[in-house]
Each structure stands twice: as structure tokens, then as C-alpha cells.
Amino acid sequence: MRDVSIIGIGQTPVREHWEKDLRQLATAAVLAALQDAHVDQVDAIYVGNMLSGELTRQEHLGALIADQLGMSGVAAMKVEAACGAGGSAVHAGYLAIASGQYRRVAVVGVEKMTDLWNGSVTAGLAMAADGEYEAANGISFVGLNALMMRRYMYEYDLVEEDFAPFALNAHKNAVHNPNAMFRKSVTLEQFTKAKKVADPISLFDASPVCDGAAALILSRSENLNGNAARAVAIQASALATDTLALHDRQDPLWLRAVELSSIKAYAQAGVTPQDINLFELHDAFSIVAPMSLEAAGFAPRGAGTYLARDGGISLYGKLPISTMGGLKARGHPIGASGVYQVVEATQQLRGEAGKNQVPNARIAMTQSLGGVAATAATHILKGKN
């Protein structure tokens, strides 16, 4: 296995991009990453995306994006793992280089969601779960998370407000991220008064429907093309799965795929949770944050929300999370989010996170989840300083 490094990052702002389509977003992000890496060619392209066919009537994104980049001829393919498509594409790109097959690859996550109205997007997202036994019964994706959250609150004797720090922290961090969708902080009062989408999940517990693309240039660590000073090493790339349907889990309150991929990642990187300086987790819904913290080994079972108390997850806390706004406030363009996480972690490890810089950030972890964490793609990155 060869060592793999990130030598370039690129992203579009996360927005409702009325004037841009999927190919424009993806191309813009890759061009920015190529420029950042000072290279103009890759051997392969991995496109993380979930719903291009459903929402924009376009599949075959590998050939499309290679063509749009003027790189027709290279290997290219789409990687789909629902909301975990981005992290899974990074995993594919990592393996392509680690295996020795390719020297340099581009990974781009892209999602164009706003061309269809809300009900179609809701129905599309529900395909992340079991189509025949969850979606077919009218159970939306937010519905599944609400089912988990209600039971979680019941088991651990919590109230909605206990989840507020996750949303408040994400929104606070998004203020200084120019690429974030919601650059406004949220007060506890706003949080508690927010409209319920699927109780107990309110508007501020859920990530928005939006468009965006983020890209990475991955390279063999032995030849960084002059990018040695800013290169970030991928020390672990680990994918794991759980039952697709929430109802098939022995323990619906335990994210087994998160646990498995985290354990694998810690082993690969030779680190423990205590070594992680910041964690870009998959806060598509508030409930996923504490459950991820628990399954990834940062908090005991049922105690995930405690970690968020008293600024524990802020930029200066014990474990900074969602440092650029997270899925909640940077936005969650489904198949792109997992790549945004790695882009943002790279910014932190390079010391380029501006006002959101986590002090002394040396090791970062990202975790991209598909469905109700039926796929978990965990990456551990290490910077130079």
C-alpha cells in the first residue's frame, strides 16, 4: 500500500444555485482543486453523488465530468452511497492511489437539489433508506431521524434543548465560512421556538436542501509535485456498513457502521479518539451528532449530548466539531458533503481556516454517513505542523 496525500482542495459556496447546473458546480470545484494543487491532469476521477438521476435526469457522471474538464479519456466513475456518497468517493480515490494503480486522482462530490420541489426531494432522499419497507410506507428520511431522536430522548431522559448546542455551534462556525449556506448565528430561544418538521426534530435540527460541489486532488505521498509544505496525509480511510433499514437493527440507537469504520480508521492511523483534534461529523440532523460521538468512541453511550455542554464542541473546546458550519449550517448537498468535510479538515490542518482555525490542529477526523448511517466512511487526516 502506498501513502496518500491531499495536494489540492476546491469548493463552491453551498447555496441555492439557480443559475448553475450539476456539471458547472462539479467542474468549478475540480478546477479550483487543480489550481490549488498546481497540476492540470489526473489519472482518474471519482464523483460522489446520490440523486443526479432522480433530481436532474442525469447519470453517468464520471464520463460527464471528465468531459467537462477536458479530460475525456481518463478513468472516471460515480460513487453512490446515499448521503455518504462523498466520503465513499474519497475512499475510492484513496484506494485507487494506495493500490498503486494511479498516481494522482480527483475526487469530487456534487449534488444539485433545488431543481425540484420539496416533495420530490423528500421522496428522493427517502431512497437512502429501505425503498420497499420504509419509503413505501410514507416514511421520509427526516422521519427516520425523528424516530431515532424520540427514542433516544426517551431512553436517556433528554429534552429537545439538550440537542441545541449542536445546532448553535454549527451556525456560529458558519458565520465566518464564506462557503456556508447559513452565515447567521442562532440563539437558544430561536432554537426552542423553531417549527417542528417531524417532532421532535425542528427546523434547526435539520440540514437544508441546497446545491454545492467540493473537490480534492489526491496524490501518492512520495511525489507531491511541489505541494509538500501544504500536503495533508490521509492516514486512514475506512468504510463500513450497517443494515439499510432502521427497523432491521438489533439496537436502533447504536450506529454500528460508525463504530466499525471508526475502529478500523483508528487502527489504520495508529491513533485513539484522544488524539483527534477536530471531528467533522455528519450532523445532517442534530440527533446524528451525539450518536456519532458515542459510536466513534468520544463519549459513553447515551452521553453524546453531554460532550456538547459548556462549549465542549466549540473551536476551542475539548473536541471541536462542525468547524466550518457542518452539514447543519454550511449546508448538506448530499453527495458533496463528505468531500466538503475533507476539504474543511484540510483547511484546518493547513492552518487556512481563518477565523475558524482550531488552535494546534494536527490530526482531524471526518465521517460521512449514508442513509441512517447504513454506510460510514471515516477518514483520519494529518497535517504538517
Partner 1 sequence: MADNLAPHWRLRAQRYQLVGNVCLKCDAKFFPPRQVCAKCRGTEFDLFQFSGRGELYSFTTLRSAPAGFEQYAPYSVGMIKLDEGPMVEAMLTDVNEDKLTIGMRVEMVTRKIREEDGERGLLVYGYKFRPSDA
Distance CA(201)–CA(198), nearest Å, equals 5
**Contact characters 60-79, partner 1, x per CB under 8 A:** --------------------
Least separation in angstroms between CB 248 and partner 1: 7
Residue among 34 and 287 whose Cβ is closer to partner 1: 287
Residue among 103 and 332 whose Cβ is closer to partner 1: 332
Least separation in angstroms between CB 306 and partner 1: 22
Distance CA(72)–CA(254), nearest Å, equals 44
Residue among 197 and 214 whose Cβ is closer to partner 1: 197
Concatenating the DSSP letter of every residue in 313-370 gives: TSTTSSS-BSTT-HHHHT---HHHHHHHHHHHHHHHHHT--GGGPPTT--EEEEEEEE
Residue among 193 and 196 whose Cβ is closer to partner 1: 196
Residue among 147 and 329 whose Cβ is closer to partner 1: 147
Catalytic hit among 17, 171, 332, 379: 332
Least separation in angstroms between CB 153 and partner 1: 10
Distance CA(139)–CA(47), nearest Å, equals 28
- State the burial class of residue 377 (Cβ atoms within 10 Å of its Cβ: 0-12, 13-18, 19+): buried
Examine residue 122 and tell whether it contacts partner 1 (CB under 8 A): yes
Residue among 57 and 195 whose Cβ is closer to partner 1: 195
Residue among 144 and 257 whose Cβ is closer to partner 1: 144
Least separation in angstroms between CB 264 and partner 1: 21
Bridge partners (DSSP) listed for residue 11: 214
Distances (CA, A) of 131 to 82, 128, 254, 370: 12, 8, 22, 14
Examine residue 50 and tell whether it contacts partner 1 (CB under 8 A): no
Examine residue 148 and tell whether it contacts partner 1 (CB under 8 A): yes
Whether 42 and 65 have beta carbons less than 8 Å apart is answered as no
Stretch in the footprint of partner 1 (CB under 8 A) among 127-135, 178-186, 309-317, 376-384: 127-135
Examine residue 51 and tell whether it contacts partner 1 (CB under 8 A): no
Element (H, E) at 10: strand 4-11
Which member of 19, 132, 157, 189 binds partner 1 (CB under 8 A)? 132
247 part of the active site: no
Residue 101 sits at φ, ψ, to 5 deg, of: -65, -45
Closest residue by Cα to residue 36 from 60, 74, 7, 57? 7
Least separation in angstroms between CB 302 and partner 1: 16
Least separation in angstroms between CB 123 and partner 1: 4
Q: HEC profile for 112-146?
A: CCCCCCHHHHHHHHHHHCCCCCCHHHCCCHHHHHH
Examine residue 146 and tell whether it contacts partner 1 (CB under 8 A): yes
Binders of partner 1 in range 225-264 (CB under 8 A): 243, 245-249, 252
Distance CA(304)–CA(321), nearest Å, equals 12
Examine residue 138 and tell whether it contacts partner 1 (CB under 8 A): yes
Catalytic hit among 17, 83, 282, 379: 83
Least separation in angstroms between CB 163 and partner 1: 15
Concatenating the DSSP letter of every residue in 180-248 gives: -S--S---HHHHHHSPEEETTEEGGGBPPP-BEEEEEEEEETT--TT-TTT-EEEEEEEEEE--SSGGG
Which member of 60, 75, 133, 254 binds partner 1 (CB under 8 A)? 133
Distance CA(308)–CA(313), nearest Å, equals 5
Stretch in the footprint of partner 1 (CB under 8 A) among 97-105, 115-123, 269-277, 289-297: 115-123
- State the burial class of residue 346 (Cβ atoms within 10 Å of its Cβ: 0-12, 13-18, 19+): buried
Distance CA(266)–CA(256), nearest Å, equals 15
Least separation in angstroms between CB 147 and partner 1: 4
Three-state SS at 379? strand
332 part of the active site: yes
**Contact characters 175-204, partner 1, x per CB under 8 A:** --------------------xxxxxxx---
So which residues are the catalytic ones?
Answer: 83, 332
Contact footprint for partner 1 (CB under 8 A) = 118-120, 122-123, 126, 132-140, 142-144, 146-148, 150-151, 154, 195-201, 243, 245-249, 252
